[in-house]
């Protein structure tokens, strides 16, 4: 959660990218980037403006680049970063054309279920695999998703502005 959210000021999706940076940081480091500052909202607000979260040595450069951009304090700099996020080396393996067409293969392995018996927590990937793919959604439920895109219009590549055509002389 970023300053605009904490202080009840108007905000837009760029604040959500900061939150995404916090989540990814926690996933990679197993700690909150602002741990030690989260007990008091005022202290947290100051930390958000002045403290750069440390990166452990084991974090790869592509992850560092991603996190550094998502955790930028200045919303305009973060917005510029996000507008170019597809160009990061971290996302090089992704074929964005295939993603936009809905033809990108799933990153999940075909069989992620353990063959060993025992009690354990089920991972989210396993939940996704366990869904009944043969059971179709009712048509009235499918209609709710007509025209829905998983890609934000603001993140789709925009055509470059071209120069105006020269005026015809008669």
pLDDT at 40: 64
Once rounded to an integer, what is the mean pLDDT over residues 78-100?
89
Give the pLDDT of residue 119.
46
Residue 159 lies in a domain: no
Instruction: For residue 104, give its domain range.
Output: 3-149
169 falls within a domain: no
- Looking at the domain assignment, is residue 126 inside a domain? yes
Residues contacting 107, CB < 8 A, separation 6+: none
Number of domains in the chain: 1
Q: What is the 3-state secondary structure (H, E, C) of the chain?
A: CCHHHHCCCCCCHHHHHHHHHHHHHHHHHCCCCCCCCCCCHHHHHHHHHHCCCCCCCCCCHHHHHHHHHHCCCCHHHHHHHHHCHHHCHHHCCCCHHHHHHCCCCCCCCCCCCCCCCCCCCCCHHHHHHHCCCCCCCCHHHHHCCCCCCCCCHHHCCCCCCCCCCCCCCC
- Mean pLDDT is highest, among 29-38, 83-92, 126-135, 155-164, for 83-92
In a domain, 42, yes or no: yes
- Establish if 87 belongs to a structural domain: yes
Q: Examine residue 22 and state whether it is found in any structural domain, yes or no.
A: yes
Q: In this predicted model, which residue has the larger pLDDT, 22 or 163?
A: 22
Least reliable range by pLDDT among 41-50, 95-104, 121-130: 121-130
In a domain, 77, yes or no: yes
What's the pLDDT at 18?
A: 86
What mean pLDDT do residues 30-36 have? 76
Q: Is position 96 within any domain?
A: yes
Q: What's the mean pLDDT when you consider all of the chain?
A: 72
Give me the pLDDT at residue 80, please.
92
| CATH number of 18's domain | 1.10.510.10
- Mean pLDDT is lowest, of 16-25, 55-64, 101-110, for 101-110
Decide: 67 and 56 in contact? Cβ < 8 Å: no
What is the tens place of the pLDDT at every residue in 110-124? Answer: 555 445 544 455 555
């Amino acid at each position: 959660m970023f300053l605009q959210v904490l202080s009840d000021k108007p905000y837009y999706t760029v604040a959500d990218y900061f939150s995404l940076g916090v989540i990814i940081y926690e996933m990679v480091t197993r700690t909150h980037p602002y741990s030690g500052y989260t007990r008091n909202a005022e202290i947290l607000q100051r930390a958000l403006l002045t403290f750069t979260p440390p990166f452990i040595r084991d974090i790869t450069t592509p992850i560092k680049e991603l996190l550094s951009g998502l955790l930028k304090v200045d919303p305009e700099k973060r917005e510029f970063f996000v507008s170019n996020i597809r160009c990061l080396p971290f996302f090089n393996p992704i074929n964005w054309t295939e993603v936009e067409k809905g033809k990108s293969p799933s990153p999940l392995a075909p069989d992620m279920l353990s063959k060993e018996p025992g009690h354990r927590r089920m991972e989210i990937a396993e939940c996704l695999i366990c869904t009944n793919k043969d059971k179709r959604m009712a048509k009235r439920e499918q209609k709710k998703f007509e025209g829905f895109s998983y890609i934000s219009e603001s993140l789709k590549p925009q055509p470059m502005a071209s120069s105006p055509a020269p005026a015809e002389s008669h």
